[in-house]
Amino acid sequence: MVEPGTLDVRAKQATRRWNLQGLMVVLFLALFPFLASLVTGEPPDAGRPKFWQGLLIQAYIFAVYALSYDILMGYTGILSFGHAMFFGTGVYATAMLLKHAEWGLGQIFLAVLLITFVQGVLFGLVSLRVKGVYFAMVTLAFAEAFYILSEATDFRRWTGAEDGLHGIPVPDFINPTDQRLRFYYLALGFALIVYLIARRVVNSPTGRVIVAIRENETRAATLGYNTFAYKLIAFVFSGVLAGLAGMVHALWNLNASPAVLSVNTTINALLMTIIGGAGTLVGPMLGAGVLQLLGYVLSRTFGPRWPLVFGVVFILIVLFLPYGIVGTWNRWRAHSSTKDKPSLSSK
């Protein structure tokens, strides 16, 4: 892992190089609908360009969701098995408020923010009292409770029970079918903004304490850091971001189903983070893209047995890229730059 200790010249150059590369990627994604239109000869808001945008939109949503998971797993070093709770809460809150209350998007945004914030504080206060596997089990139990709740027939009127909610009435101006191009930019902008916010937070004094807790919680506490408070901050921040990803997920899919609260949804976050590289922000986002596109390509090639093939691919990734795509790349670069410039280590 390349740790920027200070902003010395070399680090500044590296940061600038990263920023430039990032900018190119964003530019490419921003132009993607038109590039796709150029390549296929079809209009940007129809045919294959439209379909491909759909794949990317789902990837952007999962990118935010995976990033939020990595705040916990990669940065704070705590393994949650209940992350789907936040994501699913965002999905259901959005779907229910649109379907039953016909709230505006701004209000729903604030509602999701508030609900997942409170959820994060309450469940964090309880679950963070235990560590390691116990924390994983407690969070799993909470998420499963929400999953069961979403299937409960008592609440069918509001949640649709095991059928979920369908035909969510989203405002026309962002209807994902009719306004695909607009929704594409909405989702891209959403992922970009969340990334920038998360980058600020992980590079803040608080963000550094969180990393210190991952590295050695005892020592962090011995230095005077109330590690519980910092873990709670990370938990809430991560939960709120997952909830917002859930909100956009509901707007995009126009439905809410119990599956978004299931343990599979948590495991997806785990897979995306591992594939992309835990402890980086770009990694899980890339992991989300890889998982999304791989899923599409494999299911087209292998049909319903594609998860088997995916399993093999995943094992290969873990074997050959033990720190994920971005994590391994960072290490490899740090390693080769040390070789090129011995001054880096010996000076």
Residue 102 in contact with residue 271, Cβ under 8 Å?
A: no
Tell me: does residue 200 bind another protein (CB under 8 A): yes
Please report whether residue 212 would count as binding another protein according to CB under 8 A. Answer: yes
> Min. distance of Cβ 129 from another protein in angstroms?
13
Which distant-in-sequence residues (6+ apart) come within 8 Å of 165 by Cβ? 92, 95, 96, 99, 159, 255, 256, 257
Q: Is 4 in the site for another protein (CB under 8 A)?
A: yes
Smallest distance from another protein to CB 313, Å: 28
Report the residue number, 185 or 225, with the smaller CB distance to another protein: 225
Using CB under 8 A as the binding rule, whether residue 300 contacts another protein is answered as: no
Of 103 and 225, nearer to another protein (C-beta) is 225
Sole binder of another protein in the list 106, 205, 303, 342 (CB under 8 A): 205
- If one asks whether residue 211 binds another protein (CB under 8 A), the answer comes out as yes
Q: Least distance (Å) from another protein to the CB of residue 226?
A: 5
CB of 85 to another protein, least distance (A): 23
Identity at 92, one-letter amino acid code: Y
> Minimal distance in Å, beta carbon 337 to another protein?
12
Q: Closest CB to another protein among 6 and 301?
A: 6
Size of the site for another protein (CB under 8 A): 33
Amino acid at 89: T
Does the footprint of another protein cover residue 19 (CB under 8 A)?
A: no
The answer to whether 203 contacts another protein (rule: CB under 8 A) is yes
Contact between 123 and 139 (Cβ < 8 Å): yes
In whole angstroms, give the CA distance from residue 242 to residue 90: 7
In the complex with another protein, the residue whose CB is nearer, 60 or 237, is 237
Three-state DSSP state, 152: coil
Q: Can you spell out the DSSP letters for 63-118?
A: HHHHHHHHIIIIII----S-THHHHHHHHHHHHHIIIII---HHHHHHHHHHHHHH
User: Which stretch in 101-109, 158-166, 210-218, 242-250 sits in contact with another protein by CB under 8 A?
Assistant: 210-218
Burial label for 269, CB within 10 Å (0-12, 13-18, 19+), is buried
Nearest-5° Cα angle at 165, 161 to 169: 160
Q: What angle do CA 250, 194, 113 make, to 5 degrees?
A: 55
Site string for another protein, 224-263 (x = CB under 8 A): xxxx-----x------------------------------
Return residues touching another protein (CB under 8 A).
Answer: 1, 3-7, 200-201, 203-209, 211-212, 215-216, 218-227, 233, 344-345, 347
